[in-house]
């Protein structure tokens, strides 16, 4: 009975938003605090998926990601952070430690999910789908994927591309539909 109720709620929210869930978002993942979340809730939005780490030279990008979140959230941008310890063991903490760090250091308000393996195929269905769609798998922390509102348009940006760079924000604005 609970499963049927959950399916009915999911279907009604998808119908209400007018968007169908693409294969790239059709995943259930654990939030950083342990709650199971369905990424289909973001169907119809521009979704930025990024693998993060707390102890990396790129970690200050959290500030730019949060700034993007504040600037574009009302226009339909959703940022999804996936901590990963795949590169240089730069995300060694527990989920609670990661959540505390993100809140205390960068006041992160966008959704964060449990630690995820992104480097190799089979580590994460979310990142496997994004790698297949773009032909690019993260080579370091803070690799960014932008998924368009249609759920199929995807752009990939390596770690060196800052979230507030002209190149990146132009693509965000293009997908949001100025």
Show which residues are catalytic.
56
- Tell me the DSSP string of 105-136: HH---S-BB-----SSTTS-HHHHHHHHHHS-
User: CA 156 to CA 146: how far, in whole Å?
Assistant: 7
Tell me whether strands 144-147 and 36-38 are parallel, antiparallel or unpaired. unpaired
Rounded Cα–Cα distance for residues 142 and 62 (Å): 9
How many residues in the chain? 178
């Amino acid at each position: 009975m609970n499963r049927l109720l959950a399916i009915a709620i999911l279907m009604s929210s998808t119908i209400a938003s007018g968007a169908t869930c693409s294969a790239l978002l059709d995943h259930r993942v654990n939030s950083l605090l342990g709650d199971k979340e369905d990424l289909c809730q973001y169907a119809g939005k521009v979704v930025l998926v990024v693998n993060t780490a707390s102890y990396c030279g790129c970690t200050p990008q959290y500030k730019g990601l949060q700034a993007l979140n504040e600037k574009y959230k009302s226009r339909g941008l959703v940022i999804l952070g996936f901590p990963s310890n795949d590169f240089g063991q730069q995300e060694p903490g527990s989920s609670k430690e990661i959540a505390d760090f993100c809140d205390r250091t960068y006041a992160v308000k966008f959704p964060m999910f449990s630690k995820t393996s992104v480097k190799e195929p089979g580590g994460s269905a979310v990142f496997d789908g994004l790698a297949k769609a773009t032909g690019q798998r993260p080579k370091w922390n803070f690799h960014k994927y932008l998924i368009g509102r249609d759920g199929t348009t995807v752009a990939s940006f390596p770690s060196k591309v800052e979230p507030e760079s002209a190149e990146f924000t132009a693509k965000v604005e293009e997908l949001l539909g100025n």
